[in-house]
Structure 1
């Protein structure tokens, strides 16, 4: 009888162990694979649309999504900002994340101009619109985020005028430690879905 009880106990222990291992494996399958770690974002000190100074350390502790835009951009920026606004609406409520739009036209994009632009997209407080000196903004784009930015030459006679500032249309995911975790095509639906999955993995 004692041997039977011992056998039953061992059987129950094995069943429990298998259940734990199975549950752990299922949880790992459900959990998104963390995205790779790229370079850290360099320190910066910029001005938000409300006039408040925002530094890199102010953003640490929570993941954030960045893009580079300017308010008088005629083509790509309205689409990117509309995409960011859609992200703001559709992100899960339990994800504590910030949205950060950096201006590449700081000579025109004063905090007041950025505030008007943000209001036109019903941007909440967690969505920052940052501006600063031109050299700092260009350096942050090129060297910090590894995103191109340039002033195009004048168009040939009769040719359509390009955007006054050429810049990247990619979104960038930054984790709570200030490290870049991914780049995403702002005009590609699948790429943006991956952004949300990666955000959930690092959040």
Structure 2
């Protein structure tokens, strides 16, 4: 009887330890920079002010252009996957910045948004002056230039409610989108 009780006690302690270990919180996502407030033009031709549209929201950013023959369609499809996974989250937003402001006018961006089933009011395609977009791409997100070469990063950036960049996710990597979605859900659960 004593042997059975001690075995049960040891088993209970081990089971409790396993449960607690499995429930341990993950390390906090790093803070990799802060996105300053910005004003650009969205796909409807309206002024997009980050202070009013993205305030206290979790958002995902990427840089694309609409006539891209390479990674942009894949990245936009992946952004659609993220949008779908977070569709019920009222505080999730998605922002695609163009790297080709000369061609990506609001009507062109609007057609592109429709093609990728962007939810109005949640997924924004932004354009503006090349120097402003370059500052966002290179100076804020550290993702390269908007210099006319149309070369750009294939990374997504995850931004928290305080406009801090909390992660980068490389589009071609198999686990990038699942990790991005999981991390976005973690941030959505965080309080301010």
> TM tier, shorter chain?
0.7 to 0.9
Displacement over 6 Å in runs of 4+: none
Aligned-pair Cα RMSD in Å: 2.2
1:190 maps onto 2:186 in alignment = no
- SS of the residue corresponding to residue 181 of structure 1 reads strand
1:26 is displaced (CA, Å) by 4.6
Please give the TM-score of this superposition, normalised by the length of structure 1: 0.76
Alignment check: 8 A CA contact 1:56 1:178 kept: no
1:167 is displaced (CA, Å) by 0.3
Structure with the greater alpha carbon radius of gyration: 1
The residue that corresponds to 1:64 in the other structure is 59
1:169 maps onto 2:154 in alignment = yes
Deviations 1:126-166 (A, max 9, x none): 100011001110111000111113658xxxxxxxxxxx511
1:103 is displaced (CA, Å) by 0.5
Separation of aligned partners in 2, 1:124 and 1:26: 39
Please give the TM-score of this superposition, normalised by the length of structure 2: 0.80
Separation of aligned partners in 1, 2:42 and 2:167: 24
Separation of aligned partners in 1, 2:21 and 2:40: 41
1:104 maps onto 2:99 in alignment = yes
Separation of aligned partners in 2, 1:130 and 1:150: 13
What 5-or-longer segments of structure 2 have no aligned partner?
1-15
Alignment of 1:132-143 (within 5 A): 132-143=128-139
1:29 is displaced (CA, Å) by 2.1
Q: How many residues align?
A: 169
